[in-house]
Amino acid sequence: MKVSLTVNGRRHDVDVAPNTLLVDVLRGRLGLTGTHVGCDTSQCGACTVHLDGRSVKSCTVLAAQVDGAAVTTIEGIGSPDALHPMQAAFRDCHALQCGFCTPGMIMSAIDLVQNVENLDERKVREGLEGNLCRCTGYHNIVKAVLNAAESM
Amino acid sequence: MSDTGIGKSVKRREDLRFITGRGRYTDDVNRPNQVYAVFLRSPYPRARIVSIDASGADEVAGVIGVFTGKDLSADKIGDLPCGWMVKSKDGSDMKIAPHPPLAVEVVNYVGEPYGIVVAESLAAARDGAEVVATEFEELTPTVSVANATAGAQLHTNVPDNVCYLWELGDADATNAAFAAAAHVTKLTFSNNRLIPNAMEPRAAVASFDAATEEFTLVTTSQNPHLERLILSAFVQLAPEHKLRVIAPDVGGGFGSKIFVYAEETAVAWAARRVGRPVKWTADRSESFLADAHGRDHLTTAELALDGDGLFQGLRVRTRANLGAYLSTFASSVPTYLYGTLLAGQYRTPAIHVEVEGVYTNTAPVDAYRGAGRPEATYVVERLVETAARELKVDPAALRRRNFIAPDQFPYQTPVALEYDTGNYEASLAAALEKSDYANFAARKAASEQRGKRRGIGFSCYIEACGLAPSQLAIQLGAGVGLYESGEVRVNPTGNVTVFTGSHSHGQGHETTFAQVVSDKLGIPFENVEVVHGDTGRVEFGLGTYGSRSIAVGGSALVKATDKIIAKGKRIAAHMMDTNADSVDFSDGEFAARDSNQKLTFGEVAFAAYVPSNYPSSEEPGLSEKAFYDPKNFTFPAGTHIAEVEIDPETGVVDVVNFVAVDDFGRVINPMIVEGQVHGGIAQGIGQALLEHGIYDDGGQLITGSYMDYCMPRADDLPSFDVDMTVTPCTHNPLGVKGCGEAGAIGAPAAIMNAVTDALGVVDLPMPATPERVWRAARG
Ligand code: FES
Ligand code: FES
């Protein structure tokens, strides 16, 4: 089936099997390998992207469902010379080690900052509960999100 | 000192690619014309393979072939070896079960691979695997470690499923200490089985060039050179010089990616067989089933004390589950990485430990963050805390009374190690201060008023990192050396490419190693590039595990850098018309002591490559290699203090405060070191409160997904209070000790000491789940 979607501001028309997942379109078809796959039960959040401005787990969305929608991935929010404030905060606070959870974590965190008022440590921890990180113990991730919330 | 030198919290240079989605992990790698692999895995814990009928799969469009263990053995692909020969106390060799990469006759754990389906697409490979008809004859499995020696025998060459019965220490002296003891504290407990769960699943992309007969294997490895060595010398896949192993960005390892596994072996073999690149990426379910698991001990431990509360003897009996086969370093983890650590931070004069390593029909068990040392710390620190409670002595005071004092180093323990340096009182004192121990009673009373139970727990751990020296380790059974290699290549324009045999999969070596080399050479941090993880670019290496990278890999780079400086002095001396002994090097400048002449590092580098005014005795070029073999282990140590509050109505344990004061020796990048500690603590708290790999009696893994295996999430953990004390390591050039595992080593005992304190119980099994805690709270 044919699906057209806008990814990071660019329109793509793809022909996919009906059971194709959004994450496979992003990684396999569009070469946007910044979005990662860390599980097969929708529980790690490594695949998190924004769909029409809200964070979703792209391993849990069918490509067919995003026809006409706008998707933003980690590649679409900033570049090394012009980092998104959340990206910059992750670097400044050492909120990543192996980097595998990081794209999903950043996409979730941006959604969190944009949609939850008066963030504090507890709210950040609860808000990121859907994203697993095995490296950082979350300590510096929480710090980064609170820092970024100040500047966003 | 520059702001990028040794000791500075330099922001990591690798971050830019990771935060912008430009990392390059194995699954991001694609080869032209590649095909996809899916593994056939055993649904049974123990069964004979009667027949495999692949005719159905051959009908599936896109399936290229279905291959089995027989195909690999017909091609003379060898067994997966275990790299450490442990001897039993009677002097006999450990009993090694044959471990073909793909099972041939019998499968021995759920998830064991016995075949590989290769197809044009992943979907076709999956469809093909679905319709392979395998007939199994089920055999009685031996699942529980407690019954392992009485259960059905897994391997014909391993009676009673006992791989080895190993001992260390002086049994007679220990028994005598117990006979004379004023008090004996005894505990029996398990150390729960864990599943590592690096967030990046294992993966491999292999290609074979028929023209040159060269393999290229891109894979999720912590030690690509070791992988190459094993795949060539033992598995016989290809000669070493025809095999290139690349470990690109790797999404965490924690030990689980040290090992050489069936999957990358079979994928590489298949690439030659089908003549096209083959790609495999584990899904998380496969990671749960077939990554090597960690821990899984049953232990009885006793501590003998005299009338003054001084430790006189420690007796430990452990049964360690090795799983169905010996993974790459499995045999060493519950022996040399465990028994040797049982002295802890104390002067206990007599120690004896006996470890029975057993096979069961479960996934292989091998090193997981800490590897043996968390288990040892758990034994010692649970015992010490319990002894303090039994004797009604303050647990900090009892520890203090038994600490090895700062003036007693070097200190020879009764379990083989010689600690070079340490100051245990300093980290305990700092941790007591930070945790406001003095006011704990008031906080406990306040909790009680709110119907909660509060407890505090200590863990004064020691670990041994930078496994060493090679000669000794090889005498003790190691199959490889334990040195590290490094190369410092100064380019003609004066910038530097550093090659290291260590591998970074989250540790930030691209930053810290550049800090070390730029600091030593007095050149800008930006001018130093660090290359790792590719056998085609880096000469040799033993990789990253056991918190060894900075202590061993970093020391190799210092050694190579020293050679660069020495040669630079000889070149500069010639150019400044003096002798090398009269040249000083500092801050990137060679200065003649007998005149006011100076040359920059760049000028000397240029002269080495454009040798016009150049000493006739020197070869052109400025590039040096070094292998560094450590003289001893390093001994990071510290105190962790956990404070918990328990809601007796729900059994939920809230970690209200976690203090860690660690001594890692000199620290290269404090920001990165703190991050390592945070991550380790999270895994340690995970072990104590949440994580448990469980097989049911029938041998099925019932914690095979994130629904059932409880990973620590952001809202399960507090922020941590981390600090450091410093006693520099005495025997490596940087004075460093290593920091990667400390958190996972110290935290479980601290948490469980706090939980049992809060509940007023002697012991509680890990993980202290709400159900267990709730039951214990009701008495
Ligand atoms: S890949 Fe784990 S939630 Fe999507
Ligand atoms: S940084 Fe490695 S999983 Fe989060």
Chain A interface disruption, residue of B8, B9, B16, B20, most A CBs within 10 A: B20
In the predicted structure, residue B128 carries a pLDDT above the cut 60: yes
- State which residue of chain A sits closest to B27, comparing Cα positions: A33
| pLDDT score at B15 | 97
Q: Give me Rg for the CA atoms of chain B.
A: 27
Residue B692 and residue B680: Cα distance in Å, rounded? 17
**What is the tens place of the pLDDT at every residue in B268-309?**
999 999 999 999 999 999 999 999 999 999 999 999 999 999
Q: How far is CA B708 from CA B90, B372, B399, B637, B686, in A?
A: 42, 25, 38, 34, 14
Q: Could you identify the atom of ligand 1 that is nearest to the CA of residue A58?
A: 4
Cα of B20 to nearest chain A Cα, Å: 6
Ligand 2 nearest atom to the CA of residue A98, by list position: 2
As for how many domains chain A has, the answer is 2
Q: Which among A39, A103, A124 is the nearest to B706, CB-wise?
A: A39
Write down which residue in A76, A96, A114 finishes a domain. A76
Given this model, what pLDDT does residue B303 score?
98
Structure tokens at B280: 């495999």
CB atoms within 10 A of CB B489: 18
Answer whether B254's CB lies under 8 Å from B222's CB. Answer: no
Nearest-Cα residue of chain B relative to residue A42: B706
Q: Do A90 and A55 reside in the same domain of the chain?
A: no
Q: Note whether B768 and B651 are within 8 A (CB).
A: no
Atom 4 of ligand 2, residue of closest alpha carbon: A133
Question: How many percent of chain B have pLDDT more than 70?
Answer: 100
Q: Which of A90, A106, A138 sits opposite B717 (nearest CB)?
A: A138
Q: For chain B, give the mean pLDDT.
A: 96
Query: Around Cβ B157, how many Cβ atoms within 10 Å?
Result: 9
**CB neighbourhood size of A28 (10 A):** 16
Same domain, A70 and A8: yes
Residue identifier of the C-alpha nearest atom 3 of ligand 2: A133
Q: Which residues of B touch A39 (CB under 8 A)?
A: 283-284, 705-706
Looking at the structure, tell me whether residues A34 and A7 fall in a common domain: yes
Any B CB within 8 A of A50 CB: no
> Do A69 and A96 fall into the same domain?
no
Which residue range is the domain that position A40 belongs to? 2-76
Task: Provide the ipTM.
Answer: 0.98
* Distance between Cα B698 and ligand 1 center (Å): 30
**Nearest Cα to B516, choosing from B13, B1, B7?**
B7
Q: What does the alpha-carbon distance between residue B165 and residue B357 come to, in Å, rounded to a whole number?
A: 6
- Tens digits of residue pLDDT in B199-231: 999 999 999 999 999 999 999 999 999 999 999
Q: For residue B464, give the nearest of B330, B373, B593, B342 by alpha carbon.
A: B373
- Cα distance between residue B739 and residue B665, in whole Å: 9
Residue A136: closest C-alpha in chain B: B679
Report the sign of the C-alpha dihedral through residues B370, B372, B376, B382, in that order. positive
Contact list in B for residue A41 (CB cut-off 8 A) is 284, 705-707
Is the same domain home to A8 and A66? yes
User: B23–A97: do the CB atoms touch at under 8 Å?
Assistant: no
Selection from A67, A3, A64, A39 nearest residue A132 by Cα: A39
Of A40, A100, A126, the CB nearest to B251: A100
Same domain, yes or no: A35 and A11: yes
Which of the ligands is closest to the CA of residue A108? 1
**Contact state of A137 with B681 under an 8 Å Cβ cutoff:** yes
Say what the pLDDT of residue B549 is.
81
Q: What is the pLDDT confidence band of residue A10, given thresholds at 50, 70 and 90?
A: very high
B199–A140 C-beta distance less than 8 A: no
Contact B199 A121 (CB under 8 A): no
* pLDDT in the model for residue B167: 98
Spell out which residues of chain A touch residue B714, defining contact as CB-CB under 8 Å.
Answer: 124-126, 128-129, 131, 133, 138, 141-142
User: Which ligand is closest to the CA of A59, given by its number?
Assistant: 1
Would an 8 Å CB–CB cutoff place A120 in contact with chain B?
A: no
3-state percent breakdown (helix, strand, coil) of chain B, nearest 5: 30, 25, 45
Answer whether residue B1 shows pLDDT above 70: no
Structure confidence at residue B483 (pLDDT): 83
Report the DSSP pairing between strands B623-628 and A70-72: unpaired
In whole angstroms, how far apart are CA B512 and each of B16, B464, B508? 15, 21, 6
Q: What distance in Å separates the CA atoms of residue B435 and residue B439, rounded to the nearest whole number?
A: 9
pLDDT in tens, B694-712: 999 999 999 999 999 999 9
| Smallest-distance ligand from the CA of A138 | 2
Domain of residue A109, CATH code: 1.10.150.120
| Coil/strand/helix, residue B679 | helix
A134 and B711 within 8 Å at the Cβ level: the answer is: yes
**A-chain residues within 8 Å CB-CB of B544?**
none
> 């409670």: which residue's tokens?
B389
A70 touches chain B (CB under 8 A): no
Q: Which residues line ligand 1 (CB under 6 A)?
A: A 37-39, 42-47, 57, 59
CB–CB contact A132 B706 (8 Å): yes
The pLDDT value given to residue B542:
83
Give the pLDDT of residue B484.
Answer: 84
The structural domains of chain B, ordered by start, are 31-139+200-251+257-290 (3.90.1170.50), 297-467+632-778 (3.30.365.10), 483-628 (3.30.365.10)
Q: How many residues does chain A have?
A: 152
Which of residues A33 and B467 earns the better pLDDT score?
A33
Same domain, A7 and A70: yes
Task: Tell me if residue B162 falls in helix, strand or coil.
Answer: strand
CA distances (Å), origin B316, targets B94, B297, B320, B355, B647: 20, 12, 12, 8, 34
- When pLDDT is cut at 50, 70 and 90, the band that residue B535 belongs to is very high
Q: What tokens does B54 get?
A: 């692949």
What pLDDT does residue B605 have?
96
Asked if residue A71 and residue A13 are part of one domain, the reply reads yes
Do A129 and A93 share a structural domain?
yes
Structure tokens at B308: 């003054």
B119 pLDDT above the threshold of 90: yes
Q: Is the dihedral of CA B563, B564, B565, B566 positive or negative?
A: positive
* Residues shown for chain B: 779
Q: Which atom in ligand 1 lies closest to the alpha carbon of residue A130?
A: 3
Which residues of chain B lie closer than 8 angstroms to A98, CB-CB?
198-200, 249-252, 505-506
Query: Hey, what's the torsion of the CAs at B610, B615, B618, B623, to 10 degrees?
Result: -40
Rounded to whole angstroms, the Cα distance separating B40 from B52 reads: 10
State in Å: Cα B746 to ligand 2 middle: 21
- Ligand that lies nearest to the alpha carbon of residue B25, given by its number in the listed order: 2
CA B29 – CA B33 distance, rounded (Å)? 13
DSSP B4-46: TSTT--PPPTTHHHHHTT---BGGG---TT-EEEEEEE-SSSS
Answer yes or no: do B706 and A135 touch at CB < 8 A: no
Ligand nearest to the CA of A41: 1
Nearest residue to B199 via CA among B254, B245, B248: B254
**Distance, CA of B285 to CA of B135 (rounded, Å):** 23
| Mutation pick for ligand 2 pocket among A48, A134, A139 (CB with most ligand atoms within 8 Å) | A134
Please state, in angstroms and rounded to a whole number, the distance separating the CA atoms of residues B389 and B758: 12
**Which amino acid does the sequence have at A93?**
C
| Residue-level pLDDT at B144 | 93
Distance CA B727, CA B538 (A): 32
Question: Which among B507, B712, B719 is the nearest to A142, CB-wise?
Answer: B719
pTM more than 0.90: yes
Q: What is the mean pLDDT of residues B669-694?
A: 97
The Cα–Cα gap between B23 and B510 comes to: 14
- The owner of tokens 């930030």 is B508
**How far apart (Å, rounded) are the C-alpha atoms in residues B658 and B429?**
15
Whichever domain contains A41, its CATH number is: 3.10.20.30
Give the end of a domain, one of A31, A51, A76: A76
Asked if residue A92 and residue A70 are part of one domain, the reply reads no
B364 in Cβ contact with B294 (< 8 Å)? no
> Is the predicted pLDDT of residue B165 greater than 70, yes or no?
yes
Nearest to B18 by CA among B720, B345, B506: B506
Co-location of A44 and A27 in the same domain: yes
Nearest in space to B161 (alpha carbons), one of B149, B171, B174, B173: B149
**What is the predicted pLDDT for the residue at B160?**
98
Q: Quick one: average pLDDT of B593-601?
A: 94
Take residue B40 and report the two structure tokens written for it. Answer: 């056939």
DSSP lists the bridge partners of residue B296 as: none
Q: What tens digit of pLDDT does each residue of A39-58 get?
A: 999 999 999 999 999 999 99
Mutate to test the pocket of ligand 2, among A91, A94, A102 (most ligand atoms within 8 A of CB): A102
For residue B507, which residues of chain A lie inside 8 Å, CB to CB?
A: 97
* B284 neighbourhood in chain A, CB within 8 Å: 38-41, 44
pLDDT in tens, B735-754: 999 988 999 999 999 999 99
Residues A69 and A102 in one domain: no
pLDDT band at B544; cut points 50, 70, 90: confident
The alpha-carbon gap from B185 to the nearest alpha carbon of chain A, in Å, equals 34
The dihedral built from the CA positions of residue B741, B743, B746 and B751, taken in this order, carries a sign that is negative
Q: What is the pLDDT of residues A56-94, one digit of tens each?
A: 999 999 999 999 999 999 999 999 999 999 999 999 999
Instruction: Give the pair of three-digit tokens for residue A77.
Output: 């929010």
* C-alpha B296 – ligand 1 centre gap (Å): 28
What pLDDT was estimated at residue B2?
A: 77
Cβ separation A125–B715 shorter than 8 A: yes
The alpha-carbon gap from B8 to the nearest alpha carbon of chain A, in Å, equals 14
From chain A, the residues in CB contact with B704 under 8 A are none
Banded pLDDT at B84 (limits 50, 70, 90): very high
* CA A149/CA A86 separation, integer angstroms: 8
**Whole-number Å distance between alpha carbons of B647 and B453:** 7
Residue B265 pLDDT > 80: yes
**Contact residues, chain B, for A74 at CB < 8 Å:** 19-21
Domain boundary among A55, A76, A97: A76
Average pLDDT over residues B669-688: 97
For B536-553, what is the mean pLDDT? 84
Tokens of B718: 């507090």
Q: Does A99 contact B27 at a Cβ distance shorter than 8 Å?
A: no
| CA pair distance B425, B586, nearest whole angstrom | 37
d(CA B107, CA B616): 66
